[in-house]
């Protein structure tokens, strides 16, 4: 792996190259050089991102756009080009690699340790929307088609039910029933995007807390990372996916569902940060639908985990056999919990937005 790092225009000799991070999709390595500089080297999962060149064009364009408009170099990721000046290196086995400068004095949080952390997460993703508000969304490629098209995700779930790897359906009947009972309302965001009621924006689409880097000393947000899924979408996707992951009281694969619910204090604090970061740019309908964004993104992620379980775990990286089922269960539990807190969620958003 260290050998691969030398294909990029790094400063110094490679001292170490070790596996890094907790992502479900790409392979990430931390490279350390004798100059004391660190780099992030990533193998792009080309089974999932079938057009790595296009994806890298999206990343190069959006990071350069943000960097040009900001005085702080840590407010955006910086790609390290290959020694031949390219944004990625294609190895002999046909694998695509890219490199970023390691953002100095940064930390990445797996879980909000205080509501303040989550407030700052909201601020970071809200600002990200703001930073790219004038970016020409139509020039971006769509690295994964229908990524947050929930009705299409239901079709994929049905296809996985046909596959029914190792007869796994017998172990998740209740979960399937719960999810399928919500299929009918699953088009509520995509339909409104298609008919123009909701605006198309540049969105990140994978707004987990661990896709933000914070300043090590001040614990305030620096920049948003994991940019593979940047594409045109709805602000409800970015808001909703953050709530799904960060307002949950437990890990994504917690087995004890009694420990899993959507914390209303975290919901409130994220909403405050996000709306502050968006700086008045959301339309009345977007504001009204924020709770729906949270519910849809959680339901969608739940059925994606469930579909992957029924397909035999071919998409998300797993560390034990039932992990995708455990992940699906937490998401569906969160959906049920959000439904029971529906009025409260709306009141909170209304209070903050006024
Ligand atoms: P994945 O798709 O696997 O989630 P990420 O791009 O989110 O990949 O990177 C994985 C981890 O690597 C992040 O959670 C973060 O800890 C770290 N990381 C990624 N890019 C940088 C960077 N430029 N500077 C510092 N840390 C980084
Ligand atoms: C994947 O790469 P990572 O771990 O940040 C997935 C997201 C899911 C998430 C669930 C490209 O994100 O869509 O919400 O896992 N990314 C892709 O944890 O599918
Ligand atoms: Mg990530």
Neighbours of ion ligand 3 (CB under 5 A): 23, 211, 226
212 lines ligand 2 (CB under 6 A): no
Ligand 2 center–CA 83 separation, angstroms: 30
Pocket test for ligand 1, best of 8, 19, 22, 23 (most atoms within 8 A of CB): 23
Closest atom of ligand 2 relative to the 226 alpha carbon = 5
Pocket test for ligand 2, best of 25, 211, 229, 329 (most atoms within 8 A of CB): 25
Ligand 3 center–CA 162 separation, angstroms: 31
Residue 124 pLDDT > 90: yes
Ligand 1 center–CA 276 separation, angstroms: 25
pTM of the predicted protein model: 0.94
- Superfamily assignment of 2-104 in CATH? Phosphorylase Kinase; domain 1 (3.30.200.20)
**Ligand 1 atom 12: the closest Cα is on which residue?**
21
State the chain's mean pLDDT as an integer: 96
127 or 1: which carries more pLDDT confidence? 127
pLDDT digit string, tens, across residues 248-267: 999 999 999 999 999 999 99
Residue 45 pLDDT > 90: yes
Backbone angles phi, psi at 175, to 5 degrees: -65, -40
Ligand 1 center–CA 109 separation, angstroms: 11
- Spell out the domain ranges in the chain: 2-104, 115-353
Strand pairing category for 212-215 and 79-80 = unpaired
Question: Which residues form ligand 1's pocket by a CB distance below 6 Å?
Answer: 20-21, 23, 25-26, 28, 40, 77, 100, 102-103, 106, 108, 210-211, 213, 225-226
Rounded Cα gap, residues 221 and 223, in angstroms: 6
Residue 21 pLDDT > 80: yes
| pLDDT tier at 24, thresholds 50, 70, 90 | confident
Say what the pLDDT of residue 346 is: 98
Q: Which CATH class is domain 115-353?
A: alpha beta
């Amino acid at each position: 792996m260290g050998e691969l790092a030398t294909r990029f225009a790094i400063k110094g000799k490679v001292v170490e190259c070790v596996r890094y991070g907790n992502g479900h999709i790409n392979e990430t390595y931390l490279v350390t050089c004798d100059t004391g500089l660190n780099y992030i080297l990533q193998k792009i999962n080309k089974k999932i991102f079938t057009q790595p060149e296009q994806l890298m064009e999206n990343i190069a364009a959006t990071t350069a756009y943000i960097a040009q408009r900001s005085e702080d170099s840590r407010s955006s990721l910086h790609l390290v080009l290959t020694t031949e000046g390219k944004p990625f290196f294609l190895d002999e086995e046909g694998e695509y690699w890219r490199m970023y400068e390691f953002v100095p004095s940064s930390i990445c949080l797996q879980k909000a340790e205080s509501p303040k952390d989550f407030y700052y997460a909201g601020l970071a993703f809200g600002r990200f929307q703001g930073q790219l508000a004038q970016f020409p969304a139509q020039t971006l490629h769509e690295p994964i088609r229908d990524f947050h098209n929930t009705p299409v995700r239901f079709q994929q779930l049905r296809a996985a039910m046909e596959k029914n790897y190792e007869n796994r359906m017998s172990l998740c009947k209740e979960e399937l029933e719960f999810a399928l009972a919500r299929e009918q309302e699953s088009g509520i965001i995509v339909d409104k995007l298609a008919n123009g009621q909701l605006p198309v924006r540049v969105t990140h689409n994978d707004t987990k807390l661990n896709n933000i880097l914070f300043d090590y000393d001040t614990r305030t947000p620096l920049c948003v990372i994991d940019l593979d899924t940047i594409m045109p979408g709805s602000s409800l996707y970015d808001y909703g996916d953050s709530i799904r992951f960060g307002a949950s009281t437990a890990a994504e694969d917690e087995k004890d569902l009694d420990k899993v619910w959507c914390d209303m204090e975290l919901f409130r604090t994220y909403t405050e940060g996000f709306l502050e970061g968006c700086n008045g740019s959301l339309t009345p309908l977007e504001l009204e639908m924020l709770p729906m964004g949270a519910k849809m993104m959680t339901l969608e992620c739940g059925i994606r985990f469930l579909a992957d379980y029924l397909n035999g775990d071919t998409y998300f990286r797993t560390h034990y056999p039932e992990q995708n089922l455990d992940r699906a269960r937490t998401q569906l539990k969160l959906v049920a919990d959000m439904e029971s807190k529906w009025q409260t969620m709306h009141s909170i958003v209304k209070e903050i937005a006024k």
